Chains A and B, each alone.
Chain A
């Protein structure tokens, strides 16, 4: 299939309401209330931040991604769900070229990042440049064995920020952005490894936010955390969409339902279905999606 799978809301907004804002939707006929509500929802769908087109990926001879076509809307949360081994983490890792660290891997196709249309997986694109624009948060909190401050300042120093005042300001902004400032403001010089799991994960999110990425990737960000810490991270993800575009891989379907605007279901390396999260979890179009989310898989 060569057409790019886009959520109906995204394609609708392109046709009906190219500009943002709830009042911009105009329809020729008198709309019903439900149509108006749908349109209001559609008007919240943003233009694409990144688009995967005919994306294939191989680990050696094993093809892990098969012809993935997917639009990631800007400033919204897109969740990738699917059983283990379906390729969702592999797909996520293509965005910051993490596979480059492994030998004998091959990309084919494109992930085009807006607004400058850089192909993130193109051989001509420098992976370091890519990683400057795309942040990532992993399953297990992985702070550096440094102080809280130095963890968050690390990326900034790499980019040549040396001014102490600027560093302090940007570290504070990142920590506030990850909703952990109040908890660590008096412990900035303590080791980040001394924090709780949830706090460490939020420091890692601060570290990713500090360099002001355009897309933030989350790979199972709460599977090692307790429900309270999970709720805090989920609330944070919901808030973060105002600043960055979020792509999250999760095994927890309720989490995908709670935090995402769009949900993509992957199976055996293929993208089966993508749609508004509310649609996927009430009336998915594909039987495979239905079977997976209702626990009939396997």
Chain B
């Protein structure tokens, strides 16, 4: 069932505060990983090793947020034995944090590639799919931002929007893969970089899935029911599992 603000109105203000803290930390973590994704892709496109290094250096902070939220939600459950919407909020935030941590991991992988990719070459796979990389990064950060906002506002409409839009990333990923394949047929000089480029594209596609998973957690948190999974026929050509 839907409640106006699932975090407030408890007789025990400690419960209100614990839930608020959990949510605040998840939203902060969301902001950080969105920046990680954007910076990692920018570092790759601009061949900016310094920016890539900054993404890598912030990765432990993302992990620390996840551990902290996990610890706080576990403590909250142990001390307050929440039920119904309180239980769903604590669980949804802990699971959303896990998804965001995985987004952090994907950003780290892209940043590692960015750190070693070197200067732009005439037949460079990254340059060949630069438009797709930029588009997928923009889409995935937009979806992540919406998913985190949906979590913050307990907004099911926004969460549903994320579920609907995930296929756009899947479609862009499929299109980018075709470009990479055309590229590799013409030029096999950069095989290693081509493989890494595919991994970067796949990472962005996975980030879309993680945004979708956060949105599903929001829907369960607010409505108490799991959103119905889309049938395969309803999906685009993406390969994302969720």
Chain A residues within CB distance 8 Å of chain B: 253-254, 257, 280-287, 289-291, 293-298
Contacts and interface: CB of A to CB of B under 8 A. Distances in A.
Interface in B12-67: 12, 15
Contact of B11 (A283, A284, A285, A298): A298
Contacts of B12: 295
Nearest to A298: B11
Contact of A296 (B9, B87, B88): B9
A283 B1 contact: yes
Interface residues of B, number: 17
A295 B3 CA distance: 14
B82 interface: yes
25 contacts: A281-B87, A282-B83, A282-B84, A283-B84, A283-B88, A283-B224, A286-B1, A287-B1, A289-B84, A290-B1, A290-B3, A290-B84, A290-B85, A291-B9, A293-B83, A294-B10, A294-B82, A294-B84, A294-B85, A295-B10, A295-B12, A295-B15, A296-B9, A297-B11, A298-B11
B153 interface: no
B187 interface: no
A282 B86 CA distance: 9
B164 interface: no
A294 B11 CA distance: 9
Interface string B186-202: 00000000000000000
A280 B83 CA distance: 9
Contacts of A298: 11
Contacts of A287: 1, 3
A295 B11 CA distance: 6
B223 to A, nearest CB: 8
Interface of A is mostly: loop
Contacts, number: 46
Nearest to B89: A294
A296 B10 contact: yes
B150 to A, nearest CB: 19
Contacts of B87: 281-282
A253 B82 CA distance: 11
Contacts of A289: 84
Given A282-B88, A283-B225, A294 B83 contact: yes
Given A290-B1, A290-B3, A284 B84 contact: yes
B1 to A, nearest CB: 6
Contacts of B3: 287, 290
B81 interface: yes
Contacts of B82: 294
Nearest to B220: A283
Contact of A285 (B1, B83, B85): B1
A255 to B, nearest CB: 11
A141 B163 CA distance: 56
A291 B84 CA distance: 9
Nearest to B15: A295
A294 B86 contact: yes
Q: Which 10 A-B pairs have the closest CB atoms?
A: A283-B224, A281-B83, A296-B9, A294-B86, A293-B83, A295-B10, A295-B11, A290-B84, A294-B84, A293-B84
A99 to B, nearest CB: 32
Given A283-B225, A287-B1, A290-B1, A254 B81 contact: yes
A220 to B, nearest CB: 19
Contacts of A254: 81
A84 B16 CA distance: 24
Contacts of A284: 1, 84
A286 B224 CA distance: 12
A54 B28 CA distance: 53
Contacts of A294: 10, 82-86
Contacts of B86: 294
Contacts of A296: 9-11
B228 to A, nearest CB: 10
Contacts of A257: 83
A297 B83 CA distance: 14
Nearest to B8: A296
Nearest to A32: B229
A282 B224 CA distance: 7
Given A287-B1, A294-B82, 15 more contacts: A253-B83, A281-B83, A281-B84, A282-B83, A282-B87, A283-B1, A283-B88, A284-B84, A290-B1, A293-B83, A294-B84, A294-B85, A294-B86, A295-B10, A297-B11
Contacts of B225: 283
A43 to B, nearest CB: 22
Nearest to B226: A34
A280 B86 CA distance: 13
Contacts of B1: 283-287, 290
A39 B73 CA distance: 32
A293 B87 CA distance: 11
Contacts of A295: 10-12, 15
Nearest to B9: A296
